[in-house]
Structure formats: C-alpha cells, structure tokens
Chain A
Amino acid sequence: MSSEDSLQCGGLPLTGCRVIEHSRTVAAAYAGRLLAAMGATVVMAEPPEGSPLRSAPPLLDGTGHSALFAFLSVGKRSLVCDLLSPEGRRLLERELDGVDILIDDTPVRARGPQMLAPDAVAGRFPTLVHVSVLPFGASGPKADWDGEELNLLHAGGEGFLLPNGLSNELFPDRPPLQIYGHFSEYQGGSMAAFAALSAWWAVPEFGGQYVDVSVQDAALSVGAFALQRLGDGSLEHRNTRRFRYGGVFEAQGGFVQLLTLEDRQWTALVELLGRPVWARDASLCDPLERSRRGDEINHHIRDWTSRHNVDDIVQRAQKLGVPAAKYRTPAEVIHGEHERSRGLFAPLMLDGGVKAEVLVAPFQFRCTPLQAGGRVPALGEMNQEPAP
C-alpha cells in the first residue's frame, strides 16, 4: 500500500468517534482500548483516586505502573470526574455532549445515584450509544452477581475444560486451571466493542440506544463448540477433551505443538519423523485407526521430539506441511522476527523516562496503518487543560 493510498483513505478507521469510558473492570477497559487503537478519542472518566486498574498487577518495578493498566490505557485520555458529587456529575454531563459511545461497567444497583441509569442517559443524550458491560450482564436473574476473571471463565464453561492434553495427563488430580490473565474479560470487552460499533452503525436510522453486554455470555460464546457437542450427545470434560494424537510435546529447548487433522498432514508428519517403521504400518492410513491408537502414536512422537531441537522441528514441520509451532515465551514474542516485521509493537513511555513496548492492536488496517505507541495517561490530565 503506497503512502498516497494511505492519505486518500482518510485518517484511521474510527477517526472522529468520541467515546467516554467509565470503567473499573478489565472488560470495559479493553473495549475502550480496542476503540482507541482504531483511532477513536477515548476519555476515561475516573474517580478522584483513579481507576482501580491503575494498581492492578502485574506491577512494573521502579515505575509505579501497572503493566495491565499500561496495556489497557495507552492511547486514552484521563478526566477525573467524581460521580458521587454534583460537580462530577455535571462535568460528565458536559463531556457526554457530542459523544458517540459511552462504555460503563457500573453495577446496576449503583447506577441511579451516579446518573448512569439507561433511561436517564437516553433522555438526555438521544443519539448516544450506551453500552453496559458487566460480569453477568445488566438483566436476568443473576444480573447482580459479581465475578472476577476466574469465576467468569468457569461460569462460561471453558474453565471446567482446562487444562486439556499434556497438563491434564501429567496432573490428573489437580483442580481445573484458568487461562492466563483476563481471557474471559477480554472476550467481554471485545464483544462490547463489537456491539458498540454495531449500535453506532444503526444510529442514523434508530438513534442512540442502550446495549447490555455480559462477560459470561461472551465467555460462553467463544466456548460455543462445547454446547454444540452437548447437543450432539457428548459432554466435554478436561480428562477426555484432548486430541487423540498430537498436542504439546517437550523437545530440546522448549515445547512444541504438533497437530495433524488432515490425511496429508499425517503423511507429512510421518515424513518429519523420518518414516519410522511403526508409522509405516498401513492400518495407520485410516484416521479412525490413528485415533484409536493415539496414545501409542503420541508415545513415539514424544520419544522423537525429546531427541530434537524445537526450532529445527518447527522449521522442518512447516516446510513439510505439518502444522507445528513452538510454545514461545513472552520474550520470544516481543523479539519475534515476524512480529517485528509486522510492527506489532510500539514504544510506550513510562514515568521516569522508562521506555517499554506495547502491543499496538490485534488487527491491522492495510490502507490506513494504525498509529503506534504512546504513554500511560496521567490521572486527571484533562482537568488541568483549559476548557475549549
């Protein structure tokens, strides 16, 4: 794409979109983060003490910053707005004038005093898209339930199914295991961003509206395949939800994921393993027979990978057409040649002149590349600025 093309496309995808984010939770903050990355002006309306996410772990020694908050807030602005005081509510009301999207995660019972009840908001701002994102949503019998990531991953059904594969084989008696970090909340946040942009799309015809997003719903949504399997008559369980053969294997220098779902990939895997005698057994041409003898196959693969270097395995496997990947550490990802080539990371300026790097966005717009990098917004930075 030439730079001329880029200029002709005009700004970033969401240039001109104005968003207020009133967030305590990762889900709401991630929704705002995605919109900010695509060029929306996102203002965090924070309480005087700042968002609780400012002190959420992991913390970066020596900078006072939360790595989580830094990831979630880069590209946003901060306005302190105490919604428990009349002045704060007036300030928010003034700020909401001309705003396209409000993202809010205030629990239902706390909305009234903060001027955030949907009817009240809709009455004053008829073209505003008001998106609520809460752990269990804002309606339904469990709307007043609260949940952190750990609870929500299990409320959506995926938590019960983890870990599968090698971890489960090694530690069959341990409790189920969560996905790192805030996986369910990120699903809730991305669903909120999707719903917000969809409702905004409909504004010319329908005006503003209120949208109710639930992290639990989003977690279930990404786990839909397990519900589909239940409809087919199979209840999934972490002890049995594993690929019959393939999976995580320990190699020299790390772990590798190998997975062959198609016949041609199996043939390529046999090639990768050096066409050993056991793999040339004609009955293994049948995928059902391979599934039946999965443990035996994995035993052979495990023996082979343990004698080979992980990078060599992956390089040869991909060349032969065997889907394979190394389990990369965060350091390997951030220094990855592929990621560097795609500009996945950008400079992030932290207090005290510390320079870090941050993931720009998990999508690219090839006609109008996203702008990269920035800093963590100082609490209330906008309160210091003269009124426009």
Chain B
Amino acid sequence: MSAAAEAQLPAPWRITQRRQDTPDVFTWVVTPLGDGGIRCAPGQFNMVYAYGIGEVPISIAGVDGDGALQHTIRAVGSVTRALAGLAAGTVIGLRGPYGSAWPLEAAAGGDLVIVAGGLGLAPLRQAIVQVLAQRERYGRVCILYGTRTPADVLYGGELAAWAAHRDVEFAITVDRASAGWGGEVGVVTRLVARAGFDPERTTALVCGPEIMMRFTAEALLRRGVAPAAIHVSLERNMKCAVGYCGHCQLGPHFICRDGPVLPWPRLAGLLEVPEL
C-alpha cells in the first residue's frame, strides 16, 4: 500500500469514461493523474472520494493495462447517487487498494466455480478476466451468474465472450424473465447443482447479496465442496478502510481489513445470527 493510502489521503484520478450499465448502475474507467497508479489484486476495493460529497468503498471491477481502473457503482445512497451525476472528465479522489483478494493463486491447478449475483459480478469481473488470461492454469472453469431481470445484466458484451469461450462453462439465469428472454429463469443457486466441476478439487468464488451467498454456499456444500474452498465477499459500512473506524465489524472480523473476501469457515455461525 502506498504511503498516501496508509495516511488515508486520496490521490486525484480522472473519470475518463462513463457508461450507464442499467438505470441505476454505471461503470467508470478512471486514470491516475500524476504518478498515483496503484497495484491491486482482484477482489480488493478502493475508497472513492468526490469533492464536497464524501467517500465510499467501491470494489475494483477492472484493471486495465495502462494503469486505468474500472469501478462499477450502483446509485443507492446519497454519496453513490451523487457519484452517478459526475460526468466523464471529472476529477475524483481515490485511495487504496484495501482488503483481501480472491485466492486465484491458491486455486490454480484445480477447478474454479465463480458464482455472481446481481452487482456481485463487479468484484468478480477482474478475477474472471485474469483467470481467462491464464486459462491453462486451471481445471474446469464455471461462471454462474444470476441477476434480477434481463435488463439488469451487466457487462453484456463480455458475457457473450465468456459464454462463447470453448473452455468455460457459462450459465446465466434471471429471477424474473421478460418477453424475449430465451435464457434460464430461477435463482442462481440452482445452477450450482448442475455445473460441471469436481467438488473435491474446486475453489468457489461467490459474490452477491448476503442471502444469495448463504444459499449458494449451502448449495456448494451439498455438492461436496469443502467449506475452506468457498470464498465469499462481504459488504459492510466502511469509513476508514484500515480497521480504525469500527463500522464494518462482523463478529471478530473487520470486513475492510480481514475481508472483504473471506473463506466460509471464518463466517461459520456469524451470518445466521440476525443483525450481528
């Protein structure tokens, strides 16, 4: 981590591209001004700062070759709604990367199941890009993506490429179909039962709403995947991103520092307790 990130001081970055993915989700490409580039791993997040507005944790959706990063953001709170209004060209602040990463190295040599729910595809996108770039390092690769409606599907063009990849099992399902949707309908957990992976040599990466991750983990466990091979990415309120502010605690964990990616056994008994 850079000294500035350590000091919780943002560096200026510019929004060089802005794309509206769905009515409330948009993606930025951001590039550092000056020498402010960062090294990060898929699964980590940045604190994104907007002048006069505030700061929010946003997962890193993409690491482009020239030091640019991608952030996919949903306008849900006061800060993210304000971020939605920023045009390409705007200078923002960015500090990071923070938190733990998907265990892509440890997973090499075995099968990989990537299960994304809704916007949970964003923190997994760069992991998928990286895995496909080094496809030969993994056994079977399954990408299972569930979202709300066909209109909520993210990264459409890339999905088509993943689906067309001859060495990837790609499945997409929506909770609610609309006219013209010829794909699967139903929750993403049902794709787990059918996916072609060997549970005994599989690493699973799961990201989505917490309830979706719980049921997905249970579906993976039913298939025989070892608890320690299941990794989920959690979301909690975060202010400092380095374990001082206390907001992101879940039991013994500071999600900002110990997470956001955590192996399933470390969450045993925590997610089931209401309001913990």
Q: State whether these chains interact.
A: no
Tell me the A residues contacting B by CB distance below 8 Å.
none
Q: Which residues of B pack against A, CB within 8 Å?
A: none
